[in-house]
């Protein structure tokens, strides 16, 4: 043994004291059997029975000398029993927790201080932590810690380092990787010498790996584990341990079933019988060693053999040829005798083109259809088809999409040009749409904006819109929103004085002075009378009901004079047809406000123009229409104006009474004028000839008297709307 | 007429399609072609908030009377009502069949009126949860380009050469024909006149009640581009953008060009907004907005709310 060989060893543990041969042994050396490992209490730790056994409990029994004492359940007021979760430590002895126990507890640095843990943390994490918590006098890593940190090498690393394997490997790697090994590419410079030993050098795998390379691990057991050998079959005698398998197969077991005591040598295989193969029958040199030597030269990397058996070539089979008639679908073989089934597969909707559809429908169309044609082209003919189809396919649940009825119809404009399908790329010609009429365009060109370029139409904003804009609804009687005809009429009369004012503002500028106003009022009345033909149906509808009421009443009492009075009134006034029709509604307002003044005026007028009356009334006769078209002249409103009304009403009554008492010698005109005013409020009726007017006289009083009272009652009847009622009440309270 | 550029803001949101003052003129909104709506303090060039959620270019916006909401419209056919502070869309109104080009609140911000390229004007009730417009005005024969709403009127300008004034009080609609496609409509501050700019390079002033033309302002070029015009707060001058990037100012009475303020040479000045109380104007051109006014009033303005 050379020194170099000694150096390659490494020492573990303390060396023994050098053996002094001269000195007598003081003690009898302890035999192997007596060398026992004891625990802290002096109890024997390991027992001979099995490998790996260790002491437990009281001399390998449970608990203590007295035995195992189960824990008692105790619960008192002072100390309530706790539901304690049991830990493994509860079942351990002290020595188990000790240094050599199964769960050794050692003093360790906590997480905060352990360097190992910190290493695991990412650098960035640490940086962030340092940034966020720059605590302490010195920011960053504690200096002391950096000084004290050990090299955190693992045990495995240290072991291998001690063995020196790394150096060996690195040495070999250096040699291998030295630039002399292999050079590709350019030609070597001439002075360069290739060392000769390069070729011979071969990488030597460290011997510790060789075993595993030669015998690759095929199981999942630990390294070096050898389980029971099932395959061992004794040729001469069956072993004592024979079991029977499920399939009645004999299984003999041999080998070590259990561990051998720590202090005993492993037994020889006592069950093994002699095998002839173990014997040598020739007296020759050991072949194996020779073989190995000879083989080693042919080994690759010192361990792989060239295989002698040539590799078996895999036989390749060609894919089977599929007959060309094969379609992959299973076909039921048809029998000759089976009845022929009619194929009635429904045509796909997409596949049906208009021509096929027409054929189904029994339509004769020479026209050829293409799938994408502009709607412009498909005119009446197509429509006919659609119409017929609808008729015929009424039973089908699907409804045809009708563009005309859909709400988006007005968003589309039919194409003005035909689309040329054959040439899609052709740019579509720009079409210039001229808006407005020719007159409008001309006017705009002449810069004569105004009447010529303006079109004013009625627009019905919806109720919510008006509400949100804080604007009263302009068309109360109409339900219809937007433009167009007023279809439905409602008897909704809003008793707003301001509404009426607004309308008058619209109709024309107000003239100052009461007299003119009364005049205007009359103006507003006249068209109503004259335009009866032109009054649109809706307006008449709104008026019918109340008018009818008043008419009935009038007829009951004495309709004739009343009518006459109206005519008289009208005669004295100029005709104005341009005004709006809804004046009738405002009548009562005007009446309420201007009645007294107009009366007096009329009185004068009538007296002056008495002569003309005759032929004027004749004129008007022609104009007056049927009864139901007559506008109401009842006072619609109450509330604020009611007071005024009453006030006004009383005065003329007195007058009339006076006149009547004064007897008939007063001119009939004056009287009629008085009557007129009253009657105007009240109602209309068929006109009477003038002669009769003179006769009416006293009979009128009844009319008038009934008028004021009855009217109000009736009004309430007609006003069914809660809203208006409430409003009226409210106003009354105000008044 | 003495306007000076107080500040220029690069909005950084693509082309600015419209710039609008809020109700008291202390903030402004810019509608970007990058689908974003931005709220600014224009006097300090301060971006306050960005509102994102539209699916296409934002074309117009309007702030509510209490400045708590913003309504905006976009090429994605939708109208969105935004919460100013959170920046979240409160409601998304989908009813138009095409690009929504203009949008306005009513005086109390209870109704949103939107005009679209589908030739309709829709009125939406903000107080209800309904997804449908309460009324649709289908009178226009072509795209709606501009819209104004007052306390009782809705004024619309359309490409069909007609501007329409819907009067809620009288329940009437006045359709006035102008020879060319209308790009912008606006009321004078006294509410008696209507300023209309059209595609024939002309701005006209009409009397509201009669429809007669009161003035004609020419010289600038707008071509086919949708360029806005307005009357300045004191009702003395008429302003209009132009294709050449200048803000043209005319005297309202004699229709003479008073000033030409250059915003962005060679680039279209498309949108402008008049301060509701003072003679301050916002203009937008391509990606920038400019605020014009009297420099001496700076302090006064900046001290505002």
- 3-state SS track over A254-281: ECCCCCCCCCCCCCCCCCCCCCHHHCCC
Total number of residues shown for chain B: 305
Q: Which residue has the higher pLDDT, A324 or A550?
A: A324
Phi, psi of B249 (to 5 degrees): -125, 125
The answer to whether B168 contacts A458, with C-beta atoms less than 8 Å apart, is no
List of chain B residues whose C-beta atoms are within 8 Å of the C-beta of residue A445: 179
Q: How far apart are CA A423 and CA A189, in angstroms?
A: 75
List of chain A residues whose C-beta atoms are within 8 Å of the C-beta of residue B112: none
**pLDDT score for A244:** 62
Q: How far apart are CA A537 and CA A539, in angstroms?
A: 5
List of chain B residues whose C-beta atoms are within 8 Å of the C-beta of residue A483: 139, 173
CA distances A182 to A175, A186, A195, Å, are 12, 12, 11
Task: Report yes or no: B134 and B161 within 8 Å, Cβ to Cβ.
Answer: no
Q: Which of A41-50, A510-519, A597-606, A653-662 ranks highest by mean pLDDT?
A: A41-50
DSSP A32: G
Query: Do strands B257-262 and B111-116 pair parallel, antiparallel, or not at all (unpaired)?
Result: unpaired
Q: Which residue has the higher pLDDT, B291 or A117?
A: B291
Q: How far apart are CA A452 and CA A429, in angstroms?
A: 32
The answer to whether A474 contacts B178, with C-beta atoms less than 8 Å apart, is no
Segment B11-28, tens digit of pLDDT: 889 899 999 999 999 999
CB proximity B130 to A under 8 Å: no
Q: How far apart are CA A452 and CA B77, in angstroms?
A: 36
Q: How far apart are CA B210 and CA A451, in angstroms?
A: 7
* pLDDT above 90 (res B105): yes
Q: Give the three-class secondary structure for A58.
A: strand
How many residue contacts between A and B have a Cβ separation below 8 Å? 117
DSSP B8: E
Residue from B110, B139, B170 whose CB has the most chain A CBs within 10 Å, to mutate: B170
Q: How far apart are CA A678 and CA A705, in angstroms?
A: 10
- Integer-rounded Cα Rg, in Å, for chain B is 18
CB proximity B111 to A under 8 Å: yes
Triad A91, A92, A96: Cα angle to 5°? 165
Triad A715, A719, A725: Cα angle to 5°? 110
Q: How far apart are CA A564 and CA A568, in angstroms?
A: 6
Give the lowest-confidence range in A295-304, B15-24, B64-73. Answer: A295-304
- The residue-averaged pLDDT of B270-294 equals 91
Q: Which of A444, A447, A466 sits opposite B177 (nearest CB)?
A: A444
Handedness of CA A323, A326, A328, A334 (dihedral sign): negative
Q: Give the three-class secondary structure for A585.
A: helix
CB proximity B297 to A under 8 Å: no
- Integer-rounded Cα Rg, in Å, for chain A is 64
List of chain B residues whose C-beta atoms are within 8 Å of the C-beta of residue A459: 166-167, 171-173
Residue with tokens 């407005």: A436
Segment A34-75, tens digit of pLDDT: 777 776 667 666 665 544 455 666 666 666 777 777 777 888
Beta strands in B159-268 (DSSP E): 162-167, 172-177, 182-187, 193-198, 202-207, 213-218, 229-231, 237-240, 246-251, 257-262
Q: Which of A443, A457, A462 sits opposite B135 (nearest CB)?
A: A462
Give the lowest-confidence range in A200-204, A273-277, B192-196. Answer: A200-204
Q: Which residue has the higher pLDDT, A49 or B184?
A: B184
A525 CA: distance to closest CA in chain B (Å) = 21
Q: Which residues of B36-59 are buried (b: 16+ CB within 10 A; e: fewer)?
A: bbbbbebbeeeeebebebbeebbb
The answer to whether A453 contacts B178, with C-beta atoms less than 8 Å apart, is yes
Q: How far apart are CA A151 and CA A19, in angstroms?
A: 39
**Token pair of A687, please?**
């006109």
Q: How far apart are CA B157 and CA B165, in angstroms?
A: 9
Neighbouring residues of A593: CB distance < 8 A, sequence distance ≥ 6: A517, A641, A644
A503 CA: distance to closest CA in chain B (Å) = 8
Beta bridge partners of B10: B288
**pLDDT score for B183:** 93
**pLDDT score for A722:** 45
Q: Which of B97, B127, B160 sits opposite A411 (nearest CB)?
A: B97
Question: Strand order of the sheet with strand B89-94?
Answer: B58-63, B69-74, B78-83, B89-94
**Token pair of A404, please?**
């005309």
DSSP helix, strand, coil percent of chain B (3-state; round to 5): 5, 50, 45
Burial class (CB in 10 A: 0-12, 13-18, 19+), A688: buried
Q: Which residue does chain A place closest to B205, by CA atoms?
A: A449
**pLDDT score for A131:** 52
CB proximity B118 to A under 8 Å: yes
Segment A348-365, tens digit of pLDDT: 666 667 777 777 777 665
Q: Please state, for a pLDDT cut of 70, what percent of chain B lies above it.
A: 96
Residue from B161, B193, B207 whose CB has the most chain A CBs within 10 Å, to mutate: B161
A135 CA: distance to closest CA in chain B (Å) = 38
Q: What class has domain B4-293?
A: mainly beta
Residue A77: pLDDT band (50, 70, 90) is confident
Q: How far apart are CA A619 and CA A664, in angstroms?
A: 29
Half-sphere exposure (CA, 13 Å, Cβ side) for A575?
A: 12
List of chain B residues whose C-beta atoms are within 8 Å of the C-beta of residue A411: 97, 118-120
List of chain A residues whose C-beta atoms are within 8 Å of the C-beta of residue B99: none
The answer to whether B171 contacts A459, with C-beta atoms less than 8 Å apart, is yes
* pLDDT above 60 (res A333): yes
Segment A114-125, tens digit of pLDDT: 655 444 444 555
**pLDDT score for A357:** 76
Task: Report yes or no: A725 and A734 within 8 Å, Cβ to Cβ.
Answer: no
CA distances B242 to B201, B224, B251, Å, are 9, 11, 17
- The residue-averaged pLDDT of A431-452 equals 80
State the average pLDDT for chain A: 59
Q: Which of B120, B152, B176 sits opposite A454 (nearest CB)?
A: B176
Residue A97: pLDDT band (50, 70, 90) is confident
* DSSP alpha helix (H) spans, A494-612: 497-507, 514-530, 537-557, 559-571, 583-609
Handedness of CA A395, A398, A400, A402 (dihedral sign): positive
**pLDDT score for A315:** 83
Q: Which of A408, A471, A481 sits opposite B152 (nearest CB)?
A: A471
**Token pair of A393, please?**
């396919």
CB proximity B236 to A under 8 Å: no
Neighbouring residues of A586: CB distance < 8 A, sequence distance ≥ 6: A500, A503, A504, A524
CB proximity B210 to A under 8 Å: yes
**Of residues B300, B283, B280, the one with CA closest to residue B234:** B280
* pLDDT above 50 (res A500): no
**pLDDT score for A556:** 44
Q: How far apart are CA B305 and CA B67, in angstroms?
A: 12
**Token pair of A228, please?**
């029971």
Task: Report yes or no: B103 and B79 within 8 Å, Cβ to Cβ.
Answer: yes
The answer to whether A449 contacts B97, with C-beta atoms less than 8 Å apart, is no
Residue A327: pLDDT band (50, 70, 90) is confident
The answer to whether B168 contacts A464, with C-beta atoms less than 8 Å apart, is no
* pLDDT above 60 (res A111): yes
Residue A241: pLDDT band (50, 70, 90) is low
Hey, what's the torsion of the CAs at A107, A113, A118, A120, to 10 degrees? Answer: 20
Task: Report yes or no: B217 and B206 within 8 Å, Cβ to Cβ.
Answer: no
* Reported ipTM: 0.88
**Of residues B129, B118, B61, the one with CA closest to residue B93:** B129
Q: How far apart are CA A434 and CA A442, in angstroms?
A: 12
* pLDDT above 60 (res A547): no
**Token pair of A98, please?**
């000790």
The answer to whether B179 contacts A454, with C-beta atoms less than 8 Å apart, is no
**pLDDT score for A277:** 72
Dmax (CA) of chain A = 187
Angle between helices A380-392 and A354-361 (to 10 degrees): 50
Angle between helices A699-718 and A537-557 (to 10 degrees): 140
Q: Which of A522-536, A675-689, B131-145 ranks highest by mean pLDDT?
A: B131-145
Q: Give the three-class secondary structure for A433.
A: coil
A437 CA: distance to closest CA in chain B (Å) = 9
A607 CA: distance to closest CA in chain B (Å) = 41
* First CA to last CA distance, chain A: 139
B159 CA: distance to closest CA in chain A (Å) = 9
B9 CA: distance to closest CA in chain A (Å) = 36
Q: Which residue does chain B place closest to A481, by CA atoms?
A: B135
Q: Which of A435, A443, A471 sits opposite B160 (nearest CB)?
A: A435
The answer to whether A459 contacts B172, with C-beta atoms less than 8 Å apart, is yes
List of chain B residues whose C-beta atoms are within 8 Å of the C-beta of residue A453: 176-178, 211
């Amino acid at each position: 043994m050379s020194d170099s060989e000694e150096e390659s060893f490494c020492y573990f543990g303390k060396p023994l004291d050098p053996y002094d041969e001269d000195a007598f042994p003081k003690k009898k050396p302890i035999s192997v059997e007596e060398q026992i490992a004891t625990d802290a209490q002096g109890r024997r730790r390991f027992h001979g029975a099995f490998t790996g056994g260790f002491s437990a409990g009281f001399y390998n029994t449970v608990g203590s000398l007295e035995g195992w004492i189960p824990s008692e359940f105790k619960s008192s007021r002072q100390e309530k029993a706790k539901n304690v979760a049991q830990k493994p430590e509860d079942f351990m002895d002290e020595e188990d927790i000790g240094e050599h126990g199964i769960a050794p507890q050692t003093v360790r640095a906590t997480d905060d201080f352990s360097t190992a843990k910190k290493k695991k943390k990412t650098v960035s994490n640490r940086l962030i932590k340092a940034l966020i918590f720059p605590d302490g006098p010195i920011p960053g890593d504690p200096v002391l810690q950096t000084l004290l940190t050990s090299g955190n090498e693992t045990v495995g690393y240290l072991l291998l380092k001690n063995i020196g394997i790394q150096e060996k490997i690195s040495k070999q790697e250096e040699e291998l990787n030295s630039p002399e090994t292999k050079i590709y590419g350019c030609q070597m410079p001439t002075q360069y010498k290739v060392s000769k030993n390069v070729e011979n050098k071969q990488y030597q795998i460290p011997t510790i790996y060789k075993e595993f390379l030669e015998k690759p691990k095929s199981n999942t057991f630990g390294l070096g584990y050898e389980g029971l050998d099932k395959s061992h079959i004794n040729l001469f005698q069956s072993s004592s341990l024979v079991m029977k398998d499920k399939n009645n197969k004999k299984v003999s077991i041999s080998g070590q079933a259990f561990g051998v005591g720590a202090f005993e040598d492993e037994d020889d295989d006592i069950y093994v019988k002699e095998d002839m193969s173990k014997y040598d029958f020739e007296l020759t040199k050991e072949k194996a060693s020779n073989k190995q030597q000879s083989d080693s030269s042919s080994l690759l990397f010192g361990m792989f053999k060239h295989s002698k058996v040539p590799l078996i070539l895999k036989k390749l089979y060609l894919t089977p040829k599929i007959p060309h008639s094969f379609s992959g679908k299973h076909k039921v073989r048809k029998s000759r005798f089976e009845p022929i089934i009619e194929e009635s597969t429904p045509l796909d909707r997409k596949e049906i083109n208009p021509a096929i559809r027409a054929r189904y429908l029994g339509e004769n169309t020479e026209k050829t259809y293409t799938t994408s044609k502009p709607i412009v082209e498909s005119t009446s003919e197509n429509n006919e088809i659609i119409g017929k189809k609808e008729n015929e396919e009424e039973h089908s649940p699907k409804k045809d999409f009708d563009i005309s009825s859909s709400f988006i119809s007005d968003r589309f404009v039919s194409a003005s040009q035909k689309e040329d399908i054959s040439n899609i790329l052709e740019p579509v010609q720009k079409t210039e749409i001229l808006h407005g009429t020719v007159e409008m365009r001309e006017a705009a060109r002449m810069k004569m904006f105004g009447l010529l370029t303006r079109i004013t139409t009625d627009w019905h904003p919806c109720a919510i819109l008006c509400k949100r804009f804080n604007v009263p609804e302009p068309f109360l009687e109409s339900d219809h929103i937007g433009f167009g005809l007023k279809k439905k009429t409602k008897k909704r009369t809003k008793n707003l004085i301001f509404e009426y004012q607004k309308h008058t503002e619209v109709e024309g500028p107000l003239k100052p002075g009461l007299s003119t106003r009364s005049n205007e009022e009359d103006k507003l009345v006249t068209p109503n009378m004259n335009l009866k033909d032109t009054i649109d149906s809706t307006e008449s509808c709104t008026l019918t009901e109340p008018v009818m009421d008043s008419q009935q009443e009038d007829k009951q009492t004495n309709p004739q004079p009343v009518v006459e009075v109206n005519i008289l009134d009208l005669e004295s006034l100029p005709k104005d047809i341009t005004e709006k029709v809804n004046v009738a509604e405002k009548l009562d307002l005007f009446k309420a406000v201007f009645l007294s003044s107009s009366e007096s005026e009329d009185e004068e007028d009538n007296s002056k123009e008495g002569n003309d009356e005759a032929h004027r009334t004749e004129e008007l006769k022609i104009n007056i229409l049927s009864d139901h078209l007559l506008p109401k002249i009842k006072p619609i409103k109450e509330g604020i104006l009611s007071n005024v009304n009453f006030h006004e009403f009383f005065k003329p009554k007195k007058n009339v009474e006076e006149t009547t008492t004064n007897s008939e010698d007063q001119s009939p005109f004056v009287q009629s004028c008085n009557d007129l005013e009253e009657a105007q409020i009240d109602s209309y009726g068929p006109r009477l000839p003038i002669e009769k007017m003179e006769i009416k006289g006293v009979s009128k009083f009844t009319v008038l008297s009934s008028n004021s009272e009855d009217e109000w009652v009736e009004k309430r009847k007609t006003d069914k709307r809660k809203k208006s009622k409430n409003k009226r009440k409210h106003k009354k309270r105000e008044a | 007429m003495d306007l000076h550029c107080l500040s220029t803001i690069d909005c950084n949101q693509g082309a600015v399609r419209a710039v609008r003052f809020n109700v008291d003129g202390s903030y402004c909104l810019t509608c970007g072609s990058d689908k974003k709506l931005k709220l600014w303090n224009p006097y300090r060039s301060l971006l306050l908030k960005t509102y994102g959620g539209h699916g296409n270019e934002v074309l117009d916006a309007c702030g509510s009377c209490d400045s708590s909401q913003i309504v905006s419209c976009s090429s994605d056919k939708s109208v969105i009502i935004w919460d100013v502070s959170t920046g979240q869309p409160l409601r998304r109104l989908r009813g138009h069949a095409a690009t929504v080009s203009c949008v306005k609140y009513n005086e109390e911000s209870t109704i949103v009126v939107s005009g679209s390229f589908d030739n309709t004007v829709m009125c939406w009730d903000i107080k209800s949860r309904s997804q449908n417009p309460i009324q649709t005005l289908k009178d226009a024969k072509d795209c709606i380009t501009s819209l104004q709403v007052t306390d009782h009127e809705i004024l619309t300008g359309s490409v069909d050469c007609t501007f329409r004034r819907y009067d809620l009080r009288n329940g009437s609609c006045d359709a006035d024909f102008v020879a060319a496609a209308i790009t912008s409509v606006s009321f004078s501050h006294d509410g008696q006149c209507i300023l209309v700019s059209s595609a024939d390079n002309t701005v006209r002033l009409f009397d509201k009640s009669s429809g007669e033309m009161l003035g004609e302002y020419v010289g600038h070029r707008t071509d086919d581009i949708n360029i806005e015009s307005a009357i300045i707060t004191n009702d003395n001058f008429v302003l209009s953008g132009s294709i050449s990037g200048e803000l043209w100012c005319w005297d309202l009475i004699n229709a003479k060009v008073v000033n030409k303020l250059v915003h962005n040479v060679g680039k279209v000045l498309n949108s402008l907004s008049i301060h509701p109380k003072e003679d301050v104007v916002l203009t937008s051109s391509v990606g920038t907005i400019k605020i014009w006014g009297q420099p001496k009033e700076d302090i006064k303005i900046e001290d505002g709310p």
